[in-house]
């Protein structure tokens, strides 16, 4: 597994170098930390190989001069193809955990592992690439780019991954992929609409399509149904479950709703920065 | 890829940024207009300055000159003959010019002007300068011979580029022998009337009509000595070419009024070359005007045949008949290095007696002043564009704040800090391009139609913006220099990009999680 990631990263780096659009991409930045020889003691052994996990994560936010602890030693693993729901009250640190797993933020202490490699201490360029190619993210507030149409929003990760010329050369494949994804989430007829012309459910499904654009290994979902009513929320959940079942996509979802969490394979309860069950 | 796309979308949806680019546009437009007009004036002025002077001028330090122009010209040919196209000796001397003006009430007044009297060789002088082209009679433009023409002087300024602006010079229609004969007849009538009325008329009137005339006695003496009466209806004195500004004036409506015409006589006093100098006076008949459109020359220079001036001033050696000259005008081949040739000639002629200078040296202070003016204006106007740069900076900061969440989204999708920075730099660059491009179009159109605009403004305010009586041009001269324009455009775009660096850096450094949470 780890060799496949390294290979992908190296390939991406080559494509960056050849087009020259992303400068300052040092080969050293590609070095993936070796899996630690001695895993921290007390790690629960999982049935499947661990896709994404964390070891003793600590994180606190600075509010004025006081540091407010958010995560206090979170420790868990998600195996390949698993659908995990992280459930907890608001302020319990579940969103922060998701951001740390998705390398959007850095932990104060502890490690984040992807395919057994430490990723929290990678240089910025490598983490950008991880978010771009290997993680898909969806958010409670959808976070679509308002200036782009639904179709262009789905294409956004490809825009970011490719240089202008590189995208131009492969535009047919990318456009086809984006259209397939929109069909998958049932929005083929809304492709030319701006986010402001879409309903909440449609926006969230567009966001899912965008997250899947570059075939990520892991989908990170932050309260995906938080802003939706029950029936649209169920539609979104149905889509996520299907993706998990049919494409064996690893999904980590954060929610405060036990009913939504119940649809996942496994539920992890978090309270006051610690996993409680 | 997303940089260009987002940048394009931002350009099309954020009109506030286009407003801040207006200041860049205006700055660029103003700079183009100012530079074009200044270049136009400079060019016009230089061509006229050069038009009146040869490319190189050798001046004697003494006003009484040096003998034997032919020998000097031979020396010049020996030294730098390869680059010389033509040479012409002249005699320059400051002088006073008198002519009579008849007012509307028939009263006569004598006008005195300080002038520079230039004796020229009519066969070669037109070769070394544009002098020939500035004359008002078509035949004199081909070859000047200092003889009054019957008629046919231009009534329309032949050098005007835009005929619609030219006011015809109606007075010039009558100029020539016809005018001279008519005037002679009227004068004879007046003289006859005065002779019959004289016993009745009081002393006072006689004094007003005939101010003290120092030439009268001399002229009478000459006439008596030659034993014949000078008939002004059939004869002329030595021909003279007057600068059009000496006896002409341009009225505010652009038409010209002349106090004297070809056919009139003038009197000139100048010093002789004897020691000590004595003032002597000569009568001349105006045979033509010249108009270089440089007011400085047109109201100062007066041309007579060099031989007559040499004889009058006593510059001719009585034994050999060789005349003295005060300067030699030299015309160089196009592209010749005037400064190098000047330096060669300087070593050929002793500096104690001769001054060698290019026309640029002679007009150095004037040209330097214009250059300085252009430079200062450019600096000031570029400051305006720099101020516009700060406007861009402020508005870009606002846009970055407004787009904070989008920046967070892009980062969560894997966009790098550099990439996000690139969006805003590209945005600044394209705004700069748009602003500079629009400024170029506006500036160019303004320059293209500057005279129409000046006229319109003049009508609107009732105050002529461009007064032809001040400049002796009919319209505002302009030259759009591609190099200057390119320099201005590049500067404007650079300022826009520099102003976007700070906001772009801020965007690049935004923390993704905080940006995503930004409301």
Write down all domains in chain A, each with its CATH number in brackets. Answer: 80-103+123-266 (3.40.50.300)
Is the ipTM beyond the 0.85 threshold? no
**Contact check, Cβ <8 Å, A143/B412:** yes
Looking at residue A32, its pLDDT comes to 38
SS3 state of residue A71: strand
Contact (CB<8Å) A22/B418: yes
Nearest Cα residue in chain B from A125: B416
Q: Do B2 and A160 touch (CB under 8 A)?
A: yes
B419 touches B2 (CB < 8 A): yes
Sign of CA dihedral A188, A189, A194, A198: negative
Helix axes B404-412, B364-402, angle to 10 degrees: 70
Structure confidence by residue, pLDDT tens digits, B151-203: 788 887 777 666 666 777 878 888 888 888 888 888 888 888 888 876 554 44
The owner of tokens 């001046």 is: B59
- pTM for this one? 0.69
Find the CB nearest B416 among A128, A133, A144.
Answer: A128
Distance CA A227, CA A230 (A): 10
Would you tell me which residues 11-50 of chain A have a C-beta closer than 8 angstroms to some C-beta of chain B?
22-24
- Mean pLDDT of all residues in chain B? 82
List the 244-273 stretch of A: residues with Cβ below 8 A of B.
none
Cα–Cα dist B490/B78, whole Å: 50
Q: Do B409 and A145 touch (CB under 8 A)?
A: yes
Q: Is A159 on the interface with B (CB under 8 A)?
A: yes
Question: Helix or strand or coil: residue A219?
Answer: strand
CA distance B86 to B130: 12
Q: Which structure tokens are listed for B256?
A: 């010209």
Distance CA A42, CA A38 (A): 11
Minimal Cα–Cα distance from A238 to chain B, Å?
24
Q: How confident is the model at residue B444 (pLDDT cuts 50, 70, 90)?
A: very high
* Best residue of B14, B413, B420, B514 to probe chain A, by most A CBs closer than 10 Å: B413
Contacts of B1 in chain A (CB under 8 A): 159-160, 162-164, 166-167
Hey, is the C-beta of A128 within 8 angstroms of any chain B C-beta?
yes
Which helix (DSSP H) or strand (DSSP E) does residue B318 occupy?
none
Distance in angstroms (rounded) separating the CA atoms of residues A208 and A233: 13
The DSSP symbol for B357 reads E
Closest chain B residue to A105, measured at CA = B513
Residue A10 has a pLDDT of: 47
The span from the CA of A62 to the CA of A70, in Å, is 10
- A57 in contact with chain B, both atoms CB, cutoff 8 A: no
Largest CA distance in chain A: 53
Q: What is the pLDDT of residues B64-85, one digit of tens each?
A: 778 888 888 888 888 887 788 8
pLDDT in tens, B292-334: 777 778 888 899 998 888 888 888 877 887 888 888 888 888 8
Cα–Cα distance for residue pair B337/B299, rounded to 1 Å: 31
The domains of chain B are located at 1-48+366-516, 56-188+231-335
- From CA B271, how far away is CA B277, in angstroms rounded? 6
pLDDT tens digit at each of 277 positions of chain A: 444 555 554 454 444 333 333 333 333 333 333 333 334 444 444 445 688 999 999 999 888 888 888 899 898 899 999 999 999 888 888 889 999 999 999 999 999 999 888 998 899 999 999 999 999 999 999 999 998 999 999 999 999 998 888 888 999 999 999 999 999 988 999 999 999 999 999 999 999 999 999 999 999 999 999 888 988 899 899 999 999 999 899 999 999 889 899 999 999 999 888 888 7
Predicted confidence at residue B225, as pLDDT, reads 47
**Pairing mode, if any, of strands B327-332 and B84-102?**
antiparallel
Look at phi and psi of residue B176 and say left if phi exceeds 0, alpha if psi is from -120 to 50, else beta: left
- Given this model, what pLDDT does residue B48 score? 75
Q: Tell whether A144 is within 8 A of chain B (Cβ).
A: yes
Contact criterion met (CB < 8 Å) for B406 and A146: yes
Residue A7 pLDDT: 52
């Amino acid at each position: 597994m780890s060799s496949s990631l390294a290979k992908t990263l190296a390939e991406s780096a080559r494509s960056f170098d050849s087009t020259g659009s992303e400068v300052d991409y040092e080969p050293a930045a590609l070095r993936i930390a070796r899996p630690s020889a001695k895993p921290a003691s007390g790690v629960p052994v999982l049935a499947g190989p661990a896709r994404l996990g964390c070891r003793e994560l600590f994180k606190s936010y600075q509010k004025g001069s006081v540091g407010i602890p958010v995560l206090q030693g979170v420790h868990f693993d998600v195996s390949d193809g698993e659908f995990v729901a992280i459930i907890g009250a608001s302020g319990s640190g579940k969103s922060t955990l998701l951001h740390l797993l998705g390398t959007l933020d850095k932990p104060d202490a502890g490690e984040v592992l992807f395919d057994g490699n430490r990723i929290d201490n990678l240089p910025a360029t490598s983490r950008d690439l991880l978010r771009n190619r290997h993680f898909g993210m969806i958010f409670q507030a959808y976070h679509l780019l308002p200036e782009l149409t639904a179709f262009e929003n789905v294409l956004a990760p490809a825009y970011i991954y490719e240089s202008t010329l590189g995208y131009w050369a492969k535009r047919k494949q990318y456009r086809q992929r984006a259209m397939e994804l929109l069909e998958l989430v049932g929005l083929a007829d809304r492709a030319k609409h701006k986010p402001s012309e879409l309903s909440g459910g449609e926006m969230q499904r567009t966001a899912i399509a965008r997250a899947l654009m570059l075939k990520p290994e892991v989908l990170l979902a932050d309260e995906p149904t938080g802003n939706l009513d029950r029936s649209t929320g169920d539609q979104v959940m149905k889509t996520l479950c299907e993706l998990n079942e049919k494409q064996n996509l690893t999904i980590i979802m954060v929610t405060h709703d036990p009913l939504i969490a119940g649809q996942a394979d496994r539920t992890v309860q978090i309270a006051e920065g610690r996993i409680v069950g | 890829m997303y940089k260009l796309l987002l940048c394009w979308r931002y350009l099309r949806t954020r009109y506030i940024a286009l407003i801040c680019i207006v200041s860049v546009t205006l700055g660029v437009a103003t700079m183009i207009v100012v530079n074009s007009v200044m270049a136009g004036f400079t060019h016009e002025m230089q061509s006229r300055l050069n038009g009146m002077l040869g490319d190189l001028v050798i001046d004697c330090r003494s006003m009484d000159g040096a003998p034997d122009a032919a020998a000097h010209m031979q020396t010049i040919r020996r030294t730098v003959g390869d680059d010389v196209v033509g040479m012409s000796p002249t005699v320059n001397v400051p002088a006073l010019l008198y002519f009579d003006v008849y007012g509307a009430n028939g009263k006569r007044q004598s006008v005195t002007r300080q002038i520079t009297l230039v004796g020229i060789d009519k066969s070669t002088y037109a070769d070394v300068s544009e002098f020939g082209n500035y004359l008002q009679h078509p035949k004199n433009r081909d070859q000047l011979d200092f003889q009054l023409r019957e008629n046919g002087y231009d009534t329309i300024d032949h050098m005007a580029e835009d005929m619609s602006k030219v006011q015809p010079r109606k007075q010039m229609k009558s100029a020539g022998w016809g005018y001279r004969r008519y005037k002679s007849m009227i004068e004879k009538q007046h003289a006859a009337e005065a002779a019959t009325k004289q016993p009745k008329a009081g002393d006072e009137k006689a004094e007003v009509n005939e101010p003290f005339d120092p030439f009268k006695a001399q002229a009478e003496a000459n006439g008596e000595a030659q034993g014949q009466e000078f008939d002004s209806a059939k004869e002329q004195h030595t021909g003279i070419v007057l600068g059009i500004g000496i006896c002409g004036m341009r009225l505010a409506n652009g038409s010209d009024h002349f106090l004297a015409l070809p056919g009139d006589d003038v009197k000139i006093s100048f010093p002789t070359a004897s020691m000590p100098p004595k003032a002597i006076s000569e009568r001349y008949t105006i045979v033509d005007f010249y108009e270089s459109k440089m007011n400085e020359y047109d109201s100062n220079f007066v041309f007579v045949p060099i031989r007559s001036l040499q004889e009058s001033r006593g510059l001719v050696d009585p034994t050999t008949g060789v005349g003295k000259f005060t300067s030699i005008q030299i015309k160089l081949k196009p592209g010749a290095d005037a400064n190098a040739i000047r330096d060669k000639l300087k070593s050929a002629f002793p500096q104690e007696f001769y001054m060698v200078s290019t026309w640029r040296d002679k007009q150095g202070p004037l040209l330097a002043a214009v250059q300085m003016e252009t430079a200062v204006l450019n600096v000031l106007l570029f400051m305006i564009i720099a101020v516009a740069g700060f406007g861009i900076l402020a508005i870009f900061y606002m846009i970055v704040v407004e787009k904070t969440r989008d920046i967070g989204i892009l980062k969560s999708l894997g966009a790098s800090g550099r990439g996000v920075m690139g969006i805003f730099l590209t945005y600044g660059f394209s705004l700069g391009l748009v602003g500079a491009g629009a400024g170029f179009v506006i500036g160019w159109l303004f320059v293209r139609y500057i005279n129409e605009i000046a006229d319109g403004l003049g009508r609107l305010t009732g105050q002529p913006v461009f007064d032809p009586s001040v400049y002796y041009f009919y319209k505002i001269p302009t030259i759009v220099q591609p190099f200057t324009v390119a320099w201005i455009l590049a500067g404007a775009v650079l300022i826009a990009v520099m102003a976007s660096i700070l906001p772009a850096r801020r965007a690049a450094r935004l923390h993704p999680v905080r940006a995503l949470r930004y409301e």
